[in-house]
Amino acid sequence: REEIDRISRTTEFNTKKLLDGKLENFRFTPDAKVVTGGNINVSLGTIRNTAGEGTYVIEVGQLNGSVSSAIDVRITRIDASGSITTTSATIGAGVVALGNITFRWTGSTFSISDFGGALPLNEVIDSAVVRVEALYTSNTQLIFQIGSNEGHNMIAGIDNMSAKSLGLTTSTLKVTDQNSAEKAIMVVDGAIHRVSTARAALGAIQNRLEHTIANLGVAAENLTAAESRIRDADMAKEMMQFTKQQILLQSSMSMLAQANAQPQQVLQILRG
């Protein structure tokens, strides 16, 4: 844990901390207990979204088992004014496995937009820790301007990678008995999954930036070539004008010489 926290505190680029959570998508991770055969009430707390709209993902770990009857998942939001809004989703009976519940909110209203699975429960285990994550895009992320116009940008956020943020705490890593050890393995697997997901996201951003850099390099080369052609064309035009002026000057000098020759001939005749 100490080494993970040290890496989280010290990793930086250009004096900007990268893994301490200051560049992250806002992530709120409380602990919820699974109650067998009843309702699961999950409170996201007083989460405030300055952008006005966010996407929240309820992510759970893998527990082997099944439920004999349908259960309800209830999600409660308390906004800044103290208004309470609740939404729920029903999970059917049968074998349950790893799954996510994704929902959006605008203002003070929740709505289920995707139900990708069921909460893993085990009727043998009377309680288990389930990780609940609330995620939305904040304005503390890195914004890269990758084009010449407004809106041509790329946003990169890096989650907090400290041990506490990854769920690696003393209470979640107990190995005093088999059940605690299995839960600790689930927590470690979840932390590895979060780190791998962050690495994959950064890799995708890096690929996009490298592709953009390559495209901008080609555009710069084409622009330089076009400027060179224009400059060459302007040079040829100026040389043509210069040659024209030289011809006119030489013609004028020749005509002036001929005009001066006639008076000289008259003077020579008068002298003779």
Q: What are the strands, taking DSSP E only, across the chain?
A: 12-13, 16-17, 26-28, 31-33, 40-43, 53-59, 66-67, 71-78, 84-91, 94-95, 100-106, 109-115, 129-131, 134-136, 142-145, 153-156
**What value, to the nearest 5°, has the Cα angle with vertex 247 and ends 244 and 253?**
140
Mean pLDDT of the chain: 62
Residue with more model confidence, 210 or 12:
210
pLDDT at 223 over 70: yes
Question: Tell me: the pLDDT tens digits for 230-260?
Answer: 877 777 788 888 899 999 898 888 888 888 8
Q: What percent of the chain has pLDDT over 70?
A: 47
How far apart (Å, rounded) are the C-alpha atoms in residues 121 and 34? 7
How far apart (Å, rounded) are the C-alpha atoms in residues 52 and 128? 33
Question: Tell me: the pLDDT tens digits for 13-47?
Answer: 656 666 665 555 444 443 433 333 333 444 443 33
Residue with more model confidence, 61 or 222:
222
CB 163 within 8 A of CB 1: yes
**What value, to the nearest 5°, has the Cα angle with vertex 153 and ends 11 and 25?**
45
Mean pLDDT of 127-144: 47
How far apart (Å, rounded) are the C-alpha atoms in residues 132 and 30? 6
DSSP 8-state assignment for residue 25? P
Q: Domain map of the chain by residue range? A: 2-169
Residue with more model confidence, 82 or 2:
2
How far apart (Å, rounded) are the C-alpha atoms in residues 247 and 136? 75
pLDDT at 57 over 70: no
pLDDT confidence of residue 254: 84
SS3 167: coil
Q: What percent of the chain has pLDDT over 90?
A: 1
Q: What is the pTM of this model?
A: 0.40
Which has the closest alpha carbon to 195: 165, 226, 237?
Answer: 165
pLDDT at 122 over 50: no
Which has the closest alpha carbon to 198: 72, 12, 25, 2?
Answer: 25
pLDDT confidence of residue 71: 45
